[in-house]
Amino acid sequence: MQVSQLTWDGHVAPMCNLGGGPVAVLAGALADRLLVKHGGPLQGSGCEVSARHVALLPSLLLGWASLAACSILPGARLTTPTSLQAL
């Protein structure tokens, strides 16, 4: 199962792979990991929540850049080239 990020301009970027196995549900996101729930009543077993470490900085930068590219951020046309060069 692949976790992907959908940006404001419609681009889909992969974040991480959860591997094979039972169906997983994204339960939450922390600063450095995703919380994933496995199992449930339909599978006939209890629920299990596990943490999947992932680097969220690239995803945050991609989200910010897609907002700026769509001119959703105030003053994005003026500050985006300078900010992207700084990164």
Structure tokens at 6: 């959908």
From first to last of the 87 residues of the chain, give the pLDDT tens digit: 777 888 877 888 888 777 766 677 888 888 788 888 877 666 566 778 888 888 878 888 888 888 777 777 666 555 556 665 665
Which pTM value belongs to this model?
Answer: 0.54
Complete DSSP assignment for 6-36: E-TTS-EEEEEE--SSS-EEEEEE-SSEEEE
Report the relative pairing of strands 33-38 and 24-29 from DSSP bridges: antiparallel
Which domain covers residue 69, as residue numbers? 2-86
* 8 A C-beta contact, residue 18 and residue 36: yes
Total domain count for the chain?
Answer: 1
